[in-house]
Amino acid sequence: MTLSPADLPAVRGALLAWFDRAGRPLPWRVGPEGGRDPYRVWVSEVLLQQTQVARGQVYFERFMTAFPTVQALADAPIEAVLKAWEGCGYYARARNLHRAAGVIVREGMPTTYEGWRALPGVGPYTAAAVASLACGEARAVNDGNVRRVLARLHGERQPTQTWVQARADELFDPARPGAFNEAVMDLGATTCTPKTPKCGECPLQAWCTAFASGYPAAFPAPKERAAVREIHAVALLLGDAREAVLERREGSLLGGLMGLPNEVVREGETPEKALARLAERLGASVTGELGTVTHTMTHRHLNLTVYGGLGGPPRSRVSDAALSRLDHKALGLWERRQDSLFAGA
DNA sequence: AAGGCGGGGAA
DNA sequence: TTCCCAGCCTT
């Protein structure tokens, strides 16, 4: 039983009626439908890239308090932007947001899909979302929610991006671009959930091929995922949990954040060798091992052994720096060291 | 087209 | 544990 083109108007109507009744009141949904505040919508969409709404909401409030306007964001130092983003992950988003704010201040707020798409950190999804929600442009978004809702509705186990976009476009309501996009995403996030969809509450149940199959959660099929690589590294804590030597991380991995000086233990190398290299680079001496912390980051599993030491470059205040969770764990070893000394006394 | 890029929630 | 999250950028 496949969905007929003749059913599309009824499905569209049921979806929008459900949204008008059960849509979520989110903090960036302010202003008229199709005419929302572009700055708030843009920030929220970037924040929500690969980040669940409940989590994104916390960072949204924090971010808007720190940078209430695009001018404030453009004027802020990148360190302050990363500090507001601390712990949220995918830090290139914060760096791009800051860069794009500079462009907007110089050239004005974009008013079209193409205009948004030209900004750093704004891809097809985000451009379509902001253009529809804030500019009223007729663009159907294509994200993880849309993919899952449409795969189930049509009973497609292996939906390609092209296929999803075509299905979204044909179901789209050009009369209510923003509402339609929010409706599909709300349905995917609250009802048509990945593991245990609440089909009993779904306004599209009557047309849903996956529901009819009896196994809605089997659509779409799980994606193949890359293996997690194991990485060993050593770090030096020169100072204490409050003030320590910190280095700015370069490159794509946690780029822009501060962290304890560290060296990766290379293939066929002993940790001692890597530690010696690290100490020499810093002009520091090692006093002892504080412990090991582990950190998993989707694609790699990091084992970081932390040592205490003396000397090295000037220390800086930890609370002023933007650190990854990994470095917060490493600094936590200092407190545990104090505890064990106290317990043994 | 494929792989890198954080961190956490849900089941 | 496994899978996924209002994806984007680089190769």
User: What are the tens digits of pLDDT across the range A15-68?
Assistant: 999 999 999 999 999 999 999 999 999 999 999 999 999 999 999 999 999 999
Domain containing A294 equals 229-341
A173 and A114 belong to one structural domain: yes
A18 and A66 belong to one structural domain: yes
Residue A207 in contact with residue A11, Cβ under 8 Å?
A: yes
A208 and A247 belong to one structural domain: no
A242 and A210 belong to one structural domain: no
For the segment A216-233, what is each residue's pLDDT rounded down to a tens digit? 999 999 988 888 899 999
Where residue A2 falls among pLDDT bands split at 50, 70, 90? confident
0.75 exceeded by pTM: yes
A57 and A175 belong to one structural domain: yes
What Å value separates CA A10 and C1' B3? 41
A201 and A242 belong to one structural domain: no
pLDDT at residue A247, as a whole number: 97
- A328 Cβ contact partners less than 8 Å away, ≥ 6 residues apart: none
* Displacement of CA A13 from its chain's centroid (Å): 32
Where residue A315 falls among pLDDT bands split at 50, 70, 90? very high
Domain boundary among A162, A195, A218: A218
d(CA A137, CA A180): 12
For the segment A251-261, what is each residue's pLDDT rounded down to a tens digit? 899 999 999 99
pLDDT at residue A226, as a whole number: 83
**Is A21 domain-assigned?**
yes
**Is A156 domain-assigned?**
yes
A276 and A241 belong to one structural domain: yes
Domain boundary among A166, A193, A218: A218
What Å value separates CA A191 and C1' B11? 15
For the segment A187-210, what is each residue's pLDDT rounded down to a tens digit? 999 999 999 999 999 999 999 999
A164 and A287 belong to one structural domain: no
Q: Can you give the CATH number for the domain in which A261 is found?
A: 3.90.79.10
Q: Can you give the CATH number for the domain in which A121 is found?
A: 1.10.340.30
For the record, the structure tokens of A14 come out as: 């049921």
Is the distance between the Cβ of A226 and the closest atom of strand B smaller than 7 Å?
Answer: yes
Is the distance between the Cβ of A90 and the closest atom of strand C smaller than 7 Å?
Answer: yes
A179 and A238 belong to one structural domain: no
What Å value separates CA A310 and C1' B10? 44
Residue with more model confidence, A299 or A204: A204
A14 and A87 belong to one structural domain: yes
**Is A223 domain-assigned?**
no
pLDDT at residue A345, as a whole number: 37
Residue at minimum CA to C1' distance from nucleotide B10: A195
| A50: nearest nucleotide, CA–C1' criterion | C5
**Is A328 domain-assigned?**
yes
Is the distance between the Cβ of A187 and the closest atom of strand C smaller than 7 Å?
Answer: no
| A49: nearest nucleotide, CA–C1' criterion | C7
Residue A292 in contact with residue A304, Cβ under 8 Å?
A: yes
In the residue annotation, A45 being an active-site residue is answered as: yes
| DSSP label of A239 | B
**Is A121 domain-assigned?**
yes
pLDDT at residue A281, as a whole number: 97
For the segment A150-166, what is each residue's pLDDT rounded down to a tens digit? 999 999 999 999 999 99
d(CA A277, CA A103): 42
| A87: nearest nucleotide, CA–C1' criterion | B7
Residue A284 in contact with residue A312, Cβ under 8 Å?
A: yes
For the segment A94-124, what is each residue's pLDDT rounded down to a tens digit? 999 999 999 999 999 999 999 999 999 999 9
**Is A278 domain-assigned?**
yes
Average pLDDT value for residue range A268-282: 96
A87 and A196 belong to one structural domain: yes
Residue with more model confidence, A336 or A70: A70
User: What mean pLDDT, rounded, does chain A reach?
Assistant: 95
Is the distance between the Cβ of A144 and the closest atom of strand C smaller than 7 Å?
Answer: yes
A258 and A204 belong to one structural domain: no
For the record, the structure tokens of A52 come out as: 């669940």
pLDDT at residue A340, as a whole number: 58
**Is A224 domain-assigned?**
no
Whether residue A341 is predicted with pLDDT greater than 60 in this model: the reply is no
**Is A282 domain-assigned?**
yes
Domain boundary among A158, A190, A218: A218
| DSSP label of A202 | -
Whether residue A338 is predicted with pLDDT greater than 80 in this model: the reply is no
Average pLDDT value for residue range A181-191: 98
Whether residue A130 is predicted with pLDDT greater than 90 in this model: the reply is yes
Considering its fold, how many domains does chain A have in total?
2
- Picking from A161, A182, A180, the residue whose alpha carbon sits closest to that of residue A171 is A180
